[in-house]
Structure 1
């Protein structure tokens, strides 16, 4: 009996240690995890579904291409927020005239509002597909719920809700395992893609890049680091502290890497599933997330369809507050309004007004008859126009010793950030060029 106790004790201690380590890792995850998950919103799901349906496994490699640059630019965003204690718009005004920043923020608000419209519409349609009912009524429920949670639930209680909603992403991992995937073929295509040189293929590469690296993510994560700072034991920017702050930067690195990595893993599984089912069966014309879900039903069965549709709803409930919130942070910082989800409604009226207005207008756009795919196209154009100058300014800020102090970014991060900025600029030029060519033919 004594021998059993002695031999069991180390095992029990090891299990308890592993459990504590697991909880420590979970506590490290926050702004980066939520930001990465919000990137896979219904609009992003539509893009990845279209990529898989139209080109099969031929675009799986794009997920690996974008991952390091996505991690780098979001690390820059998070670092700026935590080191300076201010959101992105407030920091950009340090290196650019206020009127330029205001113009970029207005474009951000426009892009986010259109994106919210597409996401709310997709969520309403997805719920109608699963349980029946009317699309607009379902959309109203989602829009109202999201707005009320942001306005009346303080950040310290709302943040865990957002983290919990990231679990919705795993519906797309589960979906992939409900169909028979030719893993050897898929993985070979991911690491050794066949060259396909045509305009449609190139534009889809541009669309995936633009979906993965979006300006609303920059504004959101920087501001969430400020929110976390204000909730912490030391509620001051890192550059004002004399103590060693490597633990804060390590937390940001882990959180951001996990969040962006998860985002792209989910993108991989969405492309994988739609390539396996839709492309293989010749269903290559997919323009929305709900259309992809509906197309899966007769080909892969009801269970796969329901998982895919519920994933749209879960990711939408996560993405709408990120889209509306990032717009509100940007506008509030430009005008000097109080910008925090911790405040009561009467303490940050302007901030909450932007959140409510963006969501309400987004919901209202669903009644205009504008096709969801057109809203996504215009959102992509506006996002592209905003993303490149903001990324340039972010790189200038994070490289500036005067603004960042001893927390100026390392050379590897600066290098990756500038390469990601250059890739995004090329993507935007290609996107704009496609519109010019399309309008002239």
Structure 2
């Protein structure tokens, strides 16, 4: 795996500026945060706004520091060790435990991937008509070709530009009438209800906000950054780089996750002020939300909302497929990395293609991936708990992190995030069937 890492890259200027501009600092964290607002997330946030109005907006504010902490820990693990989450789990934990975690990740990712592709196809059909399944196949093909054949630095640039699609949801808020006083109160005064419906939506929001695939992806992208920059090395081998890199990771993560949660908040606000206010409380998919907006908020809101679904899907699909391939590859000792040529990482790229192909196939099976959008978020919320427990243990494990074990504050917030996710999952099962 290290054979490519030491090779010079003629395409990149390896000199890192002493005071990098914000756009140079933003990378793995920004892309990870933006991919969090995928069509599955849009469906979840739309359902939250339609069903409970502004009553769940507080979750987005509450979850932001929790999300930042766990993502920063994931990034630090990758940057310190030069390995992703799966690679570190393989090195420090029993194989059956690692296989179980990776299997849970794959199941959640493939369901999420299929549901996202279905939502993108449905959104494009709403916009221009035509065959939804053909659109699903085309979206799958385009994302695979980009991941496999684009040079890594160019591909990252494409993903950064795709984050702009999220501004569609900021725009929708200003198309509809918003009671900002009520919004402000709901953000800071939670109205918690221990009912099955409420707990399911809370777990779904947390599951789509704090998702396992995001941990794996951001850690691996830090590893990719080390491969791409000749002077960069894992911090366990180059401790003098730690202060600069940890500062970059923190800025990147907090900005990226803040952007993600702000967009999610705008989606909840839009659907609360329109759908919920007009008695539309049952939204199954992101495409349903876009369609329901048209007679209430007008054509412009509908078009912006639908375009955003396609744009965010193009960003999220490669992240879902890529995180699956990274996890599989590190577990089974493959050469992994989007910075590698196809000939040097055939199994890795094959895993990306297969994961995407299975997602496409779900749209042609008796399983309805569109209805799985919301439930994929619930599954992610449950799967996240064991992954987070292992990450928290790993981040304080001297054998793994050496002198770069996470500090007291970050560790505390990381454990709070883990406990909150566990409590939400327990609450869901405790209220189930009541």
3-state SS of paired residue (1:243): helix
Q: Identify if the C-alpha distance between structure 1 residues 108 and 367 changes in structure 2 by more than 3 Å, giving closer, same or farther.
A: same
Q: Confirm whether residue 84 of structure 1 aligns to residue 71 of structure 2.
A: no
Q: Is the 1:95–1:393 Cα contact (8 Å) retained in structure 2?
A: no
Shift of 1:405: 1.9
Q: Distance in 1 between matches of 2:51 and 2:408?
A: 39
Q: Distance in 2 between matches of 1:86 and 1:21?
A: 26
Q: Distance in 1 between matches of 2:251 and 2:33?
A: 12
Q: Confirm whether residue 237 of structure 1 aligns to residue 234 of structure 2.
A: yes
Q: Which has the larger radius of gyration?
A: 1
After superposition, residues 26-65 of structure 1 pair within 5 angstroms as 26-65=23-62
Q: Distance in 2 between matches of 1:58 and 1:406?
A: 44
2:317 — aligned with what? 320
1:214 — aligned with what? 211
Structure 1 portions without partners, runs of 5+ = 1-19
1:296 — aligned with what? 293
TM-score (norm. length: structure 2): 0.93
Q: Confirm whether residue 358 of structure 1 aligns to residue 355 of structure 2.
A: yes
What do residues 57-113 of structure 1 show as CA deviations (whole Å, max 9, x unaligned)?
111100011111100000000000001000110111233112211121122112111
Shift of 1:22: 11
Q: Distance in 1 between matches of 2:149 and 2:206?
A: 35
Comparing 89-98 with 79-88, which one deviates more in the overlay?
A: 89-98
Match of 1:309 among 300, 306, 310: 306
TM-score (norm. length: structure 1): 0.91
Q: Identify if the C-alpha distance between structure 1 residues 384 and 205 changes in structure 2 by more than 3 Å, giving closer, same or farther.
A: closer
3-state SS of paired residue (1:245): helix
Q: Distance in 2 between matches of 1:320 and 1:342?
A: 18
Q: Distance in 1 between matches of 2:129 and 2:201?
A: 33
What do residues 334-383 of structure 1 show as CA deviations (whole Å, max 9, x unaligned)?
01101101122221111011100010010010011423354235534543
After superposition, residues 364-375 of structure 1 pair within 5 angstroms as 364-372=361-369, 374-375=371-372
Q: Distance in 2 between matches of 1:101 and 1:81?
A: 17
Q: Distance in 2 between matches of 1:267 and 1:377?
A: 14
Q: Confirm whether residue 261 of structure 1 aligns to residue 222 of structure 2.
A: no
Q: Confirm whether residue 74 of structure 1 aligns to residue 71 of structure 2.
A: yes
Shift of 1:132: 1.1
Q: Confirm whether residue 329 of structure 1 aligns to residue 365 of structure 2.
A: no
1:12 — aligned with what? none
3-state SS of paired residue (2:231): coil
Q: Distance in 1 between matches of 2:263 and 2:177?
A: 18
Q: Is the 2:26–2:252 Cα contact (8 Å) retained in structure 1?
A: yes
1:126 — aligned with what? 123
After superposition, residues 131-146 of structure 1 pair within 5 angstroms as 131-146=128-143
Q: Distance in 2 between matches of 1:369 and 1:390?
A: 30
Q: Confirm whether residue 408 of structure 1 aligns to residue 405 of structure 2.
A: yes
Match of 1:396 among 393, 396, 401: 393
1:148 — aligned with what? 145
Q: Identify if the C-alpha distance between structure 1 residues 117 and 434 changes in structure 2 by more than 3 Å, giving closer, same or farther.
A: farther
Q: Identify if the C-alpha distance between structure 1 residues 112 and 394 changes in structure 2 by more than 3 Å, giving closer, same or farther.
A: same
Q: Is the 1:388–1:425 Cα contact (8 Å) retained in structure 2?
A: yes
Shift of 1:199: 2.6
Structure 2 portions without partners, runs of 5+ = 1-16
Shift of 1:212: 0.7
Question: CA RMSD of the aligned region, Å?
Answer: 1.8
After superposition, residues 148-187 of structure 1 pair within 5 angstroms as 148-187=145-184
Match of 2:224 among 215, 220, 227: 227
Q: Distance in 2 between matches of 1:195 and 1:385?
A: 20
Q: Is the 1:210–1:427 Cα contact (8 Å) retained in structure 2?
A: no
Give the structure with the larger helix fraction.
1
Q: Confirm whether residue 387 of structure 1 aligns to residue 384 of structure 2.
A: yes
1:419 — aligned with what? 416
